[in-house]
Structure 1
Amino acid sequence: MPVFLSRTLPALIAALMLAPVAAPAQNLFAPAIRVNDAVITNYELQQRAAMLELLNSPGNAAETARDDLIDDRLRLQAARSIGVQVTEAEILEGMEEFAGRADLSREEFLQALTQGGIAEETFRDFVRAGVAWRSFVRQRFPGEAQVFDVEVDRAIAGNRTGSNIRVLLSEIIIPAPPPQAERARAIAEEISTYTTEAQFSAAAREYSATQSRENGGRLPWQDIQELPPVLRRVAQSLSPGEVSDPLPITNGVALFQLRGIEETGYTAPEIAQVDYATYLIPGGLSAEAQARARVISSKADRCDDLYGIAKGQPANVLERRTAAPSQLPDDIAIELSKLDPGETSAALTRSNGQTLMMLMLCSRDREATPEGQDEDARRDEVRLQLRNRRVGQIAERYLADLRANAYIAEE
């Protein structure tokens, strides 16, 4: 493997991860996987795995290649659905930009790939899917990706003593009310010994109670300063690919796998306090209680809306609280860390699993810092960082929905 690639490119591929299957040796160009009305061939699986190995991507290359190619098919299908067409100039520009991150020209990068037995078309297909997806996200979510001046103001007013590290985690939250606690702990202990992302992903789909289970437990990139203290300590203790020890939480047990870690150009401010609401629903994790939570969530765009929904019910049904992240119960802190203001979670329970606790994040407040920041240039930098992070989160969530609703089958 060329030394410069193994040294400089792992972070570029950190978002390309997950799932199972190795391509058969025979009949390379036969379909291996069907994704809705598209197919992935054995040749494409082998080529993508070889490229990931050359780029020193963490994890099992064959497993990662399978999920990456499935996601690429879904990205291209979504782009085509709104008329996005990728031009040759955009592909060449994307190839040049990707190679430039390793301080190489497009020609030099292609030469390195060729020496590793990787066809130029493999790299072009990878870039084409990425370019199409970015165009799709910009057109599909123009308002959501916009960063307003007030958000830049808040970020610039934030604490610069924080870390400029962000992490890519997967999660499993296993319900463990008293009657199920012993079995849940045994399952969690077994999962903590897993060594591959494919194993962890399969376990998330089978056992996890959170919405991320539909995406194999995968969470989007998160600034480490935005994680609650308990989860920050977990992330800092792991190396890419490692699974945490089981973490006991109220009526449950949590496990996390670190899929990627990287430094960014933006130092995330510390979160001083979190404003959130809890809404209690009888029935625990039953289908009826979950359905009720979905109805409530659909009627509430912000925390204030919950007061009207809870009108006439017992006072303890709805509570709104403000607390520092370090003062939150671990399970609530973990769930809130995944939400944007106005979003809800229905993964936690109380009363020994008999009551579903729906959470809604109202807001996050960040600590103020001294003046003296670099104005125009700093504002542009912060705006770009905030926009890129927001676009990434939107894209991750939408892609997870596409995958959950797609027809995916081995040929």
Structure 2
Amino acid sequence: MNPMMRLRPLLFALLCIPLCLPDLAKSQSAVSAVLRVNQSVITQYELDQRIRFLQVIQTSGDLRQAARDQLIDDRLKNSLAAGMNLKLSDGKLEQSMTEFAASGNLSLEDFVTILSQAGVDRQSYADFIKSNLIWGMLIQQLFAPRVQITEAEVDRAYQARLEGSAMRVLLSELIMPISEDTYEQVTARAQLFAKLTSLNEFADAAERYSVAETRDIGGRLDWTEVNKLPPTLQSLIVSLTPGQVTEPIPLDGGVALFQLRDIEETSYRTPLIAVVDYMTYRILTETPEETLQQAKQVAALTDTCDDLYGIAKGQPEDRLQRHSKAPADIPARLSLQLAKLDENEMMLAAPDPNDGSVLLVMLCGRLAETIEDLSRQDVMRGLQMQRLSSYADQYLQSLRSSAYIAEQ
């Protein structure tokens, strides 16, 4: 479930949030700059406010890092919108703030009160909503004219939504890391690879440049049911013919391309996935070798997701996390990993370059979607939003790569 949709337990969650912290607004550190993004700064107060807000809406993971990334993105989005003279009316902002609160069965006033009790001021909440609204307007203006969905794509997606998919695909993957220093070089290389039509040439490129586990076999993946793929990738794959390659897909810290090797209809139709239930377990020891060895031991001892609770007992709470999310709400890199797994299967992610930790990802199950009153227009809008989301992710990554971002 999307964290933004889990506001109902807020009154209970507040019991777990420290309410007796110092008055940050009155302290010197509260107004000190912690980050510079181009010509603007992010203050310690803003960072603390966003962390507390993410606590309230029960966001999982490293909240400090998530808050930092969100605020950087907010600065980039708002700066671009200002340059394009995009403005948001007070009425639209108030409406969106009300709708967000209503997603947790709360009135705007009740939600603002809960935020206040957690130390989050109303303006911080408004800034969070405003940035996302402005970005949506900007993406529509920049990329909506480029989104062309054919009737054939709608037909295929509509039938799949009604009956489940009987389609599976053979793909090859090529995943390249990307950083501020390598952005231009990697982006140019990805654009060249996207034009390949030869299976052998793509395999050679994967062996040379990919960091995925499949690099030694030319990036080749086994048959995969289309419904298990991330939604953004599904919309790209259905428009390909064998040999064609997707446009570059931005990942967290990287870029991915997929080549369609083959496609076939099967007699068994798999339903669309509404929710993916999975667990992540982060292992960190004194040395990279010990961390990897322990990760392999855990994998060998684990048959089901429930086994991980016993293994992680007594460890910090953030080490083991269980998630139930719609496919579209799962980070792209993680979604690609989950697509390769069956229920109770596990995989080890590559060691984190920052701290050497290893993340174990285990699929607990998938919940099928139920369809009621589905229209072709709904399917069309869904495909358009998936395509727009892909463009938006790529554009935001390019903004980040070209921005001046520094700790203060």
Q: TM-score, normalised by structure 1?
A: 0.50
Q: Which of the numbers 149, 158, 178 marks the counterpart of 1:156?
A: 158
Match of 2:40 in 1: 38
Q: Matched residues in 1 for 2:125 and 2:117: separation?
A: 13
Alignment of 1:90-129 (within 5 A): 90-129=92-131
Q: Matched residues in 2 for 1:277 and 1:104: separation?
A: 44
CA distance 1:409–1:115, shift in 2 (3 Å): same
Q: Which moved more, 1:73-82 or 1:122-131?
A: 73-82
Q: Which of the numbers 168, 180, 199 marks the counterpart of 1:272?
A: 168
Q: SS at 1:143's partner residue?
A: helix
Q: Is the contact between residue 303 and residue 360 of structure 1 (CA under 8 Å) also seen in structure 2?
A: no
CA distance 1:295–1:74, shift in 2 (3 Å): closer
Q: Which of the numbers 386, 392, 397 marks the counterpart of 2:394?
A: 397
| CA shift for structure 1 position 98 | 1.1
Match of 1:332 in 2: 220
Q: Which of the numbers 134, 138, 145 marks the counterpart of 1:132?
A: 134
Q: Which of the numbers 382, 386, 394 marks the counterpart of 2:383?
A: 386
Deviation digits for residues 30-74 of structure 1 (CA, Å, limit 9, x no counterpart): 222110111111111111111111111101222221111111111
Q: Matched residues in 2 for 1:319 and 1:138: separation?
A: 36
Q: Is the contact between residue 274 and residue 363 of structure 1 (CA under 8 Å) also seen in structure 2?
A: yes
Q: Matched residues in 2 for 1:46 and 1:407: separation?
A: 22
CA distance 1:157–1:33, shift in 2 (3 Å): same
**Structure 1: gaps of 5 or more residues:** 10-22, 163-268, 279-289, 308-315, 321-326, 347-357
Q: Which of the numbers 85, 88, 108 marks the counterpart of 2:87?
A: 85
Match of 2:145 in 1: 143
CA RMSD of aligned residues (A): 4.4
Q: Matched residues in 2 for 1:36 and 1:58: separation?
A: 29
Q: Which of the numbers 338, 361, 377 marks the counterpart of 2:259?
A: 361
CA distance 1:50–1:142, shift in 2 (3 Å): same
* Alignment-mate amino acid for residue 259 of structure 2: L
Alignment of 1:256-335 (within 5 A): 269=165, 271-274=167-170, 298=191, 302-303=195-196, 331-333=219-221
Q: Matched residues in 2 for 1:407 and 1:26: separation?
A: 25
Deviation digits for residues 129-163 of structure 1 (CA, Å, limit 9, x no counterpart): 0011000100010134454432211112227676x
* Alignment-mate amino acid for residue 273 of structure 1: V
Q: How many residue pairs align between the two structures?
A: 250
Q: TM-score, normalised by structure 2?
A: 0.50
| CA shift for structure 1 position 406 | 0.8
Kindly, what percent of the aligned residue pairs are identical? Answer: 28
Q: Matched residues in 1 for 2:185 and 2:55: separation?
A: 46
CA distance 1:42–1:317, shift in 2 (3 Å): closer
**Structure 2: gaps of 5 or more residues:** 1-5, 12-24, 175-182, 205-213, 250-255, 270-369
Q: Matched residues in 1 for 2:404 and 2:90: separation?
A: 30
Q: Is the contact between residue 162 and residue 371 of structure 2 (CA under 8 Å) also seen in structure 1?
A: no
Q: SS at 2:375's partner residue?
A: helix
Q: Matched residues in 1 for 2:262 and 2:85: separation?
A: 37
Q: Matched residues in 2 for 1:407 and 1:292: separation?
A: 18
Match of 2:51 in 1: 49
CA distance 1:86–1:294, shift in 2 (3 Å): closer
Q: SS at 1:27's partner residue?
A: helix
| CA shift for structure 1 position 291 | 9.7
**2:304 matches 1:408:** no
Q: Which moved more, 1:391-400 or 1:128-137?
A: 391-400
